[in-house]
Structure 1
Amino acid sequence: MGQSGIELSVIIATHNNLPTLQKGLESWARFAADQPVELLVVEDGCTDGTREYLDGLACGGWNGPALRVLHEDNAHELVCTNRGLAEARGDLMLSWHDDMFILQPWFIPELLATFRAYDDVGLLALSRGLVFSPIDEPVVTWDDTVDWRRMRSTVGPAPLNWARLYEVDGVMRPWAVRRACVEKVGPLDPVFRPTEWDESDLCFRIREAGWKVATHGYERDGAYVHQLSTTYGRTPSAKRQEIGLRNGSIFYERWSDAIRRDHARTRKTWLRRATAAGWASTARQIARFAAGRRDAP
């Protein structure tokens, strides 16, 4: 256990998104107030009243988990996440968005139990992971970086992915990582600032250091909801495509040999460490999918 009895440090970078941030923090107060959790909210140069709101909570107007407020000056997501990783007191650290809302009290206990049970899991994605495959075509355009022949989004093979964690190569936020991993390989690489491809680069460094990277669809299980959970499928702006191409090119230049070497390996799976409530919630979600009320991923 980390400092002051904290097991999990939740890092939330925010910039001018006050109503959504308030809703997100309220979900932590409702469903995790009794958990060994701290929230590190990194206020990134907000001008919409966020700083004053957070300072008020930190001064005593808060009934949720331990809360600390950190300030940056429009440093962007990667830098804010690294600030949280450096300041965190828990042995487990969670990179979380300000537009993600917890829906179930079993979520955090299961996450903690998973890392206690599986020492070889260094980082766990909570929505979807990425599996990379080598192709001979060069990376020239943004579309090349996300070509699904080269990079496939996955929650693992169905139908056992409801009950298991599945080994992957890279991840998308949210994800939880062991402090020991960050201490061994370093935080997110600032070369990827402001964001994109930084977390997959971290995953490859963690794998090179001997841990495994896994994913499980906790959002699909009903544990939390991401208000912008379809962001990955939306058409990015020209500026974001420019950044994505630059960062994707760096990533593939750095890790293409490892992708070619390891892509065909047998991928490990782990049984979820779910509570009875977690299994019951998952069963309800499976029924919803089976009834066709949601599209299966």
Structure 2
Amino acid sequence: MVNMWSIVIPTYNRLPILQKCLQAMEAQNFTTPYEIVVVDDGSTDGTVEFLQSHPQKFPHVRLVLQNHEGAAIARNTGIDVARGEVIVFIDSDLVVTPIFLSAHAKALEKSLANGDRAFTYGQVINTANFDEPTSEPVKITDISHAFFATGNVAIAKHWLLEAGKFDTGFRQYGWEDLELGVRLKNLGLRLIKCPEAVGYHWHPAFTIEQLPALVDVEAQRGRMGVLFYQKHPTWQVRMMIQMTWLHVLLWGILSLGGLLNERSLRPLLTWLINQGKPQLALEIARIFLNWYNVKGVYAAYRETRQSL
């Protein structure tokens, strides 16, 4: 019998969309008691002040503060203070439907008939529509094959503790949730897909000004990918982090060895954005962004080999 659920939401400088996220979580059609643990990771945009001054708007929220230390540490903080037997992880830019928690609960309860070594994974739909994020239709690019991802997942707290929680060595972007997923799989946990638990992941429409940050993210993802591989040196992880000759060949050919990049494609990307097609522009940009990721992961791998 589950007496309480805890929704753990790490956040950093996302106040406008966080408000929508929390409003949706407060509007749940859910009879089991639940709390919303918001772990602020050192925000400087007024997030803390807003939540502290509007407690009546968010009666389920428990605000926890920490210095800016990254998502892995923030989620571990949430796990440590959570009062619920079940923990739901969502991101602070996710807006859910009113049946979100009840859908996870029904799927988890059904899985208990075969033992409790299971967790539920909901559906994430990406959208750039801030005013009406839940109006976005599902797209082929929304399909995920991840085993464990913290954008929309419900799991018993004791499994997180037994697996050792998130590895705090992942201080930059990427892979900390999938790495924990490997350890959960090694404990024998099963993934139960729960498409009824829908979350709409908001991000601003793609602009040219985002390119430097996106390029930096790929470098970070490459470095954290190597850390992932060091912990789990398998072919499956190499495929996940794009550290194979197949990825070198694929993105090398598509990017013409890097000739297609943020500089050479800037006129085309700008034209597409001006034509009202920012998503198409982003998909084209992913060609050279993936090439940067592949180069970054191999560069980070060489650095680690040289330091041995």
User: What range describes the TM-score normalised by the shorter chain of this pair?
Assistant: 0.5 to 0.7
Name which of 179, 187, 193 aligns with 1:215: 193
> More helix by proportion, 1 or 2?
2
Give the letter for the 2:120 counterpart: L
Worse-matched range after superposition: 35-44 or 80-89? 35-44
Q: Structure 1-normalised TM-score?
A: 0.63
Structure 2, gaps ≥5 residues long: 125-140, 238-308
Give the letter for the 1:114 counterpart: A
**1:185 equivalenced with 2:178 (yes/no):** no
- Residue 276 of structure 1 aligns with which residue? none
4+ residue runs of structure 1 moved beyond 4 angstroms?
Answer: 32-35, 152-156
Q: What is the CA deviation profile of residues 191-222 of structure 1, one whole-angstrom value per residue up to 9, with x for unaligned ones?
A: 11234111111111011112123434446xxx
Name which of 84, 92, 96 aligns with 2:78: 84
Distance in structure 2 (CA, Å) of the matches to 1:127 and 1:22: 21
Structure 1, gaps ≥5 residues long: 129-151, 157-167, 261-297
Root mean square deviation of aligned Cα: 3.1
Distance in structure 2 (CA, Å) of the matches to 1:33 and 1:113: 11
Contact 2:104–2:122 under 8 Å retained in 1: no
Structure of higher CA gyration radius? 2
Give the letter for the 2:176 counterpart: D
- Alpha-carbon offset, residue 41 of structure 1: 0.8
- Residue 111 of structure 1 aligns with which residue? 104
SS at match of 1:115: helix
Give the letter for the 2:99 counterpart: W
Distance in structure 1 (CA, Å) of the matches to 2:102 and 2:170: 32
Distance in structure 1 (CA, Å) of the matches to 2:41 and 2:90: 14
Distance in structure 2 (CA, Å) of the matches to 1:100 and 1:107: 11
Q: Which protein has greater RCO, CA pairs closer than 8 Å, 6+ apart?
A: 1
Contact 2:37–2:61 under 8 Å retained in 1: yes
- Residue 264 of structure 1 aligns with which residue? none
- Residue 224 of structure 1 aligns with which residue? 199
Q: Give the paired residue count.
A: 215
Q: Percent identity?
A: 22
**1:254 equivalenced with 2:231 (yes/no):** yes
Sort the Cα spacing of 1:212 and 1:229 in 2 relative to 1 into closer, same or farther, 3 A: farther
- Alpha-carbon offset, residue 154 of structure 1: 4.6
- Residue 238 of structure 1 aligns with which residue? 215
SS at match of 1:250: helix
Distance in structure 2 (CA, Å) of the matches to 1:193 and 1:36: 33
Q: Structure 2-normalised TM-score?
A: 0.61
SS at match of 2:48: helix
- Residue 295 of structure 1 aligns with which residue? none
